Structure formats: C-alpha cells, structure tokens
Amino acid sequence: MNEEVAKLPKEEADRILELPNSYLEKGIEIGREEGIQKERENLVQNMLKKGLSVERIVELSGLSEDIVIKIKENINSGI
C-alpha cells in the first residue's frame, strides 16, 4: 500500500497517511469522554449512598435530573 500511496500527489498522499492518526485521536477523545462520564456516575452513586437528595446532586454535579434519577434507579434495582 505504501508504494501505491507514494505514487499519488504529495497532498493526497499526506491526507491518506493522516487518516489512521485522526481515527486514533478520535478514539482517544471518545475514551476520555466515556471515562469522565463514568467517574461522574460513580460520584453520583456515592452521593446517593450518602443520602444526598437528587436536587442537591443535580446542583453539585451539573448532570441533569433525568440522569441522576436513572443512576438512582440502577442502584435500587441492583444494576
């Protein structure tokens, strides 16, 4: 494949060679976002276990009330 890319005009070849890096960077970005979301969910779980109200958790976490209630329901159902 490298031989085929080498035959292309430089600008086009550079674009093709950048593709794997852009996919890697996007994957890393998605992984970070998922990690941050998981950590927020863990924080909300701990707040709920400590007895904080849904309203207070929404205020402190910045998450929506729907998300906090969903996490609470998951705890109650044992998920």
pLDDT at 6: 73
The reply to whether the predicted model has a pTM over 0.85 is no
List the pLDDT tens digit at each of the 79 positions of the chain.
677 767 778 888 777 777 777 788 888 999 999 999 899 889 999 999 999 999 999 999 889 999 999 999 988 887 6
Domain boundary assignment for the chain: 2-77
pLDDT at 79: 63
Question: Whole-angstrom Cα distance, residue 61 to residue 46?
Answer: 12
HSE toward the beta carbon, residue 26, CA cutoff 13 A:
6
